[in-house]
Amino acid sequence: MPAYPLRHVDDSFLREAPLVVSSTVSLDATPSAVWAALGSDEMWSWLPLIDQLEWRSPKPHDVGSIRRLRLGRFVTVDEEFYRWDVDRRATFRVVGQSRKVADALIEDFLLTPTDRGTDLTWTMALSPLKGRGLPLGLLAPLLRPGNTLAIAGIKKILR
């Protein structure tokens, strides 16, 4: 596990975090198809920022699963899934990091069936380390469009 643990947070953090960013993309695919893409190891393959991904737990793709990601050869994080509701919702908290980057981080993926397919909403809740990194006033405007662009990349593997 990366050397620096993050604060343990739960769903309340999705509402109370210093920075909460939500992005929604409408997809012409069933919730099952979106879920399969979302849970695949190809999910972030179009995003060069993520250059390594591996499941660290004996039973991946379930509650309690640990996934390790490396972001731009800069930081490695361990994500613990505490919600895995097939075809509906997945939520994880980052439990460890190789560099001190954040105090707490949760990401939530919600699938909502629509007449045309599925709306996929990605919510990121973040508490940066105090006194480090970009101020929230500068970070939020960067994350919002970046997250929207990143989550829309799922269209590339839904084809």
pTM of the complete model = 0.90
pLDDT in tens, the chain (159 residues): 578 999 999 999 999 999 999 999 999 999 999 999 988 878 777 777 888 888 898 778 899 999 999 988 889 999 999 999 999 999 999 999 999 888 999 999 999 999 999 999 999 999 988 765 556 666 677 788 888 888 888 998 897
Residue 68: per-residue pLDDT: 92
Whole-number pLDDT of residue 72: 84
What's the DSSP call for residue 15? Answer: H
Residue 138 has a pLDDT of 65
Which residues are paired to 5 by β-bridges? 96
pLDDT at 137: 61
Whole-angstrom distance, CA of residue 152 vs CA of residue 122: 10
Q: Which stretch of DSSP H or E encloses residue 73?
A: none
Cα-based distances in Å from 76 to 67, 68, 73, 128 = 10, 7, 8, 16
Phi first, then psi, for residue 109 (nearest 5°) are -120, 120
In sequence order, what DSSP letters do the residues of 86-152 get, joined into one string? TTTEEEEEEEEESS--EEEEEEEEEEEE-SSSEEEEEEEEEEEPTTSSS-HHHHHHHHHHHHHHHHH
The pLDDT value recorded for residue 95 is 97
